[in-house]
Amino acid sequence: MDQSPRLMMASTVISENETPANKRCFKAKRLKHRADWRFSICRSIDEASWLESRRQRHAAPQCGTASGGWKVDARTTAAASRDTARYNLPVNIVVFETSSETVSVAVARGDRVVSREFADAGQQSSELALPALHTLLAELDLTVNNLDLIGFGRGPGSFTGVRIACGLAQGLAYGLGKRVVGLPSTLALAEASDAAGPEQILVALDARMGEVYLAAYRRAATDATGFVEIVPPCLVKPDAVSAVMSLDGAWQGVGSAFHHPQLGAALRAHQNLQTVALDAPMFPAATALLRVIRRVMNRSGSAASVAPHDASPLYVRNKVAMTIEERRAMQHTPAVAAS
């Protein structure tokens, strides 16, 4: 029986669309959809199985059961909670400190610590930090996969440097699935101060533009970091320290600002500043920050660490450069221009 022209036209269109290429494309899309569906199902099953196995693994064995045959009492639970931080203390740690012109990297494997420092690194922080990390790992017979925790100095300091340290820590932590601990770089200098000197420590770093990065601490064995923060890191003029804090009692100073002729003279003018820790590093060091991080992790456990995306640098300066008029004015003030 002859088909009508309309039916013949429809069959012609269908036959033209059903080319081998179109059939293969449709088949590939159908197989991809089926594979995606199977993958989502398997993923849900795997996640459910993992959660169930973890729940069973961490469940306390009951008395008389084949999984242990012992009973957990309140005293055992309390002791376990007290020792949680110490039990979970990371063994292999890397710390980056690039907030100043000195680039510092430290790696710890248990009680053994190795470090590298590069003075006057300038803008080469990123080029120096990663090769130094691989060198230190090789000295300890480790690889990046063996790291348990990533630490870094948050600043304040060089605008680029604090971001490099944070970026290195975040990148490693993301890739390894680890957590991050970021502490103020001024804590590293407080840790490096003279332990036999006054317990109150004034940290001052040369911030350029006639200003200093200032922070004040008091040694305290009961605090997680080992220090009580009296004045958080801030940006001040060296002759305006008394407006920010009261220098009551005996203090010791540490940091690069005390080694600067003009800045140091202005800071030493405060009568209660008894000593300056000249033997301490001028700039924050990764080894000192590593000791503080270990202390914090030992006392606070994982609560002291954050996820990689929550790590952030510490900025205390909004203005990073002077205007042309300000630079011209500084030329007529040699004491300030030299700083």
- Please report the beta strands in 24-128, taking only residues with DSSP state E, as ranges in sequence order: 92-97, 103-109, 112-118
As a whole number, mean pLDDT of residues 151-168 equals 94
The confidence score (pLDDT) of residue 50 equals 44
Average pLDDT taken over every residue of the chain = 77
Do the Cβ atoms of 205 and 157 come closer than 8 Å?
yes
pLDDT in tens, 17-31: 455 555 555 555 555
Give the integer Cα–Cα distance in Å for 33 and 320. 53
The confidence score (pLDDT) of residue 240 equals 84
Residue 270 confidence class, pLDDT cut points 50, 70, 90: confident
Side-chain-side CA neighbours of 312 within 13 Å: the count stands at: 4
As a whole number, mean pLDDT of residues 280-296 equals 94
Query: Omega of the bond prior to 156 within 30 degrees of 0, cis?
Result: yes
As a whole number, mean pLDDT of residues 214-220 equals 95
The confidence score (pLDDT) of residue 91 equals 84
As a whole number, mean pLDDT of residues 209-236 equals 93
The confidence score (pLDDT) of residue 14 equals 41
What is the Cα Rg of the chain in Å? Answer: 30
Give the integer Cα–Cα distance in Å for 42 and 29. 20
What residue has token string 């004015």? 329
Residue 333 confidence class, pLDDT cut points 50, 70, 90: low
The confidence score (pLDDT) of residue 19 equals 58
Do the Cβ atoms of 154 and 98 come closer than 8 Å?
no
Instruction: Express as a percent the part of the chain with pLDDT over 90.
Output: 47
Count of beta carbons in the 10 Å neighbourhood of residue 35: 10
The confidence score (pLDDT) of residue 92 equals 95
Smallest CA-to-CA distance from 96 within 303, 287, 254 is with: 287
Distances (CA, A) of 67 to 49, 53, 56, 81, 86: 19, 14, 10, 22, 26
Lowest mean pLDDT among 80-89, 93-102, 171-180, 219-228: 80-89
* Choice between 190 and 196, residue whose per-residue pLDDT is larger: 190
Note the maximum CA span of the chain: 116
The confidence score (pLDDT) of residue 242 equals 79
Asked if residue 223 has pLDDT above 80, the reply is yes
Instruction: Express as a percent the part of the chain with pLDDT over 70.
Output: 66
Pairing of strands 227-236, 212-219: antiparallel
